[in-house]
Amino acid sequence: MKKITLLLIYSLYVFAAKAETGYDLWLRYKPVENKILLQSYRKSITTIITKGSSETMKIANDELMNGLSGLLQIKINNSTAVNRDGSVIAGTPGSSTLISQAGIDGLLQKTGEEGYIIVTKIINGKKCILISGNSDKAVLYGSFHFLRLLQTEQSVQHLNILSVPRIQHRMLNHWDNLNRTVERGYAGFSIWNWHTLPGYIDQRYIDYARANASIGINGTVLTNVNADATVLTKPYLEKVKALADVFRPYGIKVYLTARFSAPMELGRLKTADPLNAEVQNWWKEKVKEIYSYIPDFGGFLVKANSEGQPGPQDYHRTHADGANMLADAVAPFKGIVIWRAFVYSNENPVDRHKQAYDDFVPLDGKFRTNVMVQVKNGAIDFMPREPFHPLFGAMPKTPLMMEFQVTQEYLGQGTNLVFLAPLFKETLESDTYYKGKGSTVAKVIDGSLDDHQLTGMAGVANIGNDINWCGHPFAQANWYALGRLAWDHDLSSRQIADEWLRMSFTNNPAFLQSAAKIMLESRDIVVQYSNPIGLHHIMSTGHHYGPAPWVSNLNRSEWNPVYYHKADSIGIGFNRTGTGSNALAQYKPEARKQWENMNTCEEKNLLWFHHVPWNFSMKSGRNLWDELCYQYYTGAERVKQMQTDWNALKPLVDKQRFEQVRQLLDIQHQEAIWWRNACLLYFQTFSKMPIPAQYEKPDKTLEYYKSLRFPFAPGN
């Protein structure tokens, strides 16, 4: 009988392991593995007392009940009074007398509307854990934090946590089209099923809201920045309302992308000139209509006069003119306008690196107070590695919003394991020097340098309708990292990786040590085998899948990879110094000092700022050509090591996800070799130098790599 029972338990374990699809993300609430901690938790947590009748408080209560029941594997009781040790009390001072009389007013004065406290208190002679804030939304955030403590096996004996978001608007930008395709999407189709909305509310919408609330994301832009005006029509606004109603209790506001020419396409006006009275009135009436459906509508995200999108410059107006027109329309409803600074023109012969700065710096101080200018982390386009955008620190009178790309358009797309927290941190910790040393990008966007109250960080979403949301199992960590850093940009990449691994896989130390190493090195590895030493934008055109540094025949010069690497018989790289495009002049002298001299430039950005001779001596002692070979070959070898490290974790990972990652790492290794061979064979035609003898020679010709075509690559 004992053998049969053990066999049954083992069978159930195996079945459960196979069933790890990844759908639950980091909210799995599996039983706590540490037996000593488990016993401690069970003594500290026996009942939940939640106060408040709002939908948000009901969600917080249910999350605590479900989370604690799953983690502790005991029955958790709802209670109305402290009658035993081990009560968790969640609520606001306004909804709970237990909270209002707990002597925490001083702490709550520091939390604002969204911040929260989690503290241990003696109430009625009993030891209790209080989760509180000044709003129900804050209590929900605190509840998720408390559950995270248990998920990551931290002590809850003597809690004294005060957490306040550093950024006000923490958002996902979905590049989802109304036909459910996703531009730069590598995880299936859009999760928004516009056809069945508003009548059918998919459970995935609710789970999406839970996941975002758990990491503090409080805004979502539903539609592509390459906008379709149809979403502003009555049938679609009814659909948007249905989603807004789902998201509201989770503290999430809905935003839409506004197509600048909508007054012409929908209103049949003859112009979309932002200074035209009829156009202004059309937008004001359209905004009133939107708010009649969605009273807490967040506002508009706008891409204008970029890559063929209409905008105010079509009418010889400025970006400020266009943004202010929309800002005036949403201002009576406390809405905001987020105006993207990603602008460049084929007609402008100036280095693409410089164009956004040239367009926007003269407009500093000319935007309405409810306008944010959204700036990509770098000046080109979400490259695997970029110096920080020179606009950060150059517009002190205008609140700048960070735009990161969570979806891996230029970072291996859906097949590569790349943890992006190190990329995000690299940008946030960069020093602009615009108010002296320590003027980091993070301090620019959190408003602390210029006392801006309107602050924001956005990430281009990597979410689709794949069962695990993000395609690659590890891509979930980038969604998680975006939310955590938007809440607190001082968190380290290691801490974020550790949290996500513990919550998504296991707290086993052997697993954590090896898996964290894979994650923390992964972004550097993909840079090394694709765009080392400051190379950039040498991906294949259109779909951006794989290498194609040879492309030179597109009708827009800045869409051709040869525009960026400028390889010739002398050397390689883009000269952005005073003898070249002089893009370096857009940075403060102290910031550009690290880049302006070829002999002292940090080598990770060398070819970004300099055209370097092939025989230039690198810090390694190798010449530039040999260093390029070293980087490409080493990067590919490091992927091979990632495979070895992952395979060693097989006993510690559920079968389904282990096998998914194993297969994808196999593909990544093949793609790393593809990048290595294709790029070196091409650049060799300029350097005329041999690949060093110690390296395995490419087994395909350059012509072979040039012949590859991917007409159905995802994400176009």
Decide which of 3.20.20.80, 3.10.450.50, 3.40.1280.10, 3.40.50.300 is the CATH code for 169-501. Answer: 3.20.20.80
* Distance, CA of 301 to CA of 175 (rounded, Å): 11
Q: Are 143 and 198 in contact (CB under 8 A)?
A: no
Structure tokens at 207: 């789970």
* Distance, CA of 366 to CA of 76 (rounded, Å): 56
Query: How would you write 607-648 as a 3-class SS string?
Result: HHHCCEECCCECCCCCEHHHHHHHHHHHHHHHHHHHHHHHHC
Output phi, psi for 157, to 5 deg: -75, -45
DSSP class of 471 = S
Residue 582 carries which side chain, given as an amino acid letter? N
Report the candidate in 226, 227, 454 with the shortest Cα–Cα distance to residue 330.
454
Looking up tokens 């960080």, which residue turns up? 457
pLDDT of residue 19: 63
* pTM, rounded to two decimals: 0.97
Looking up tokens 């086993």, which residue turns up? 508
Could you please report the per-residue DSSP string of 417-456? ----HHHHHHHHT-B--BTBTT-BHHHHHTSTTTT-S--E
DSSP class of 537 = -
Domain ranges of the chain: 19-163, 169-501, 528-574+611-707
Instruction: Name the stretches of the chain with pLDDT < 70.
Output: 1-19
Report the candidate in 255, 253, 250 with the shortest Cα–Cα distance to residue 176.
255
Q: Are 523 and 384 in contact (CB under 8 A)?
A: yes
3-state class of 156 per DSSP? coil
Specify the CATH superfamily of domain 528-574+611-707.
Answer: Alpha-glucuronidase, C-terminal domain (3.90.1330.10)
Decide which of 3.40.50.1950, 3.30.379.10, 3.40.50.620, 3.40.50.720 is the CATH code for 19-163. Answer: 3.30.379.10
pLDDT of residue 63: 98
Tally Cβ neighbours within 10 Å of residue 390: 25
Catalytic residue ranges: 307, 381, 409
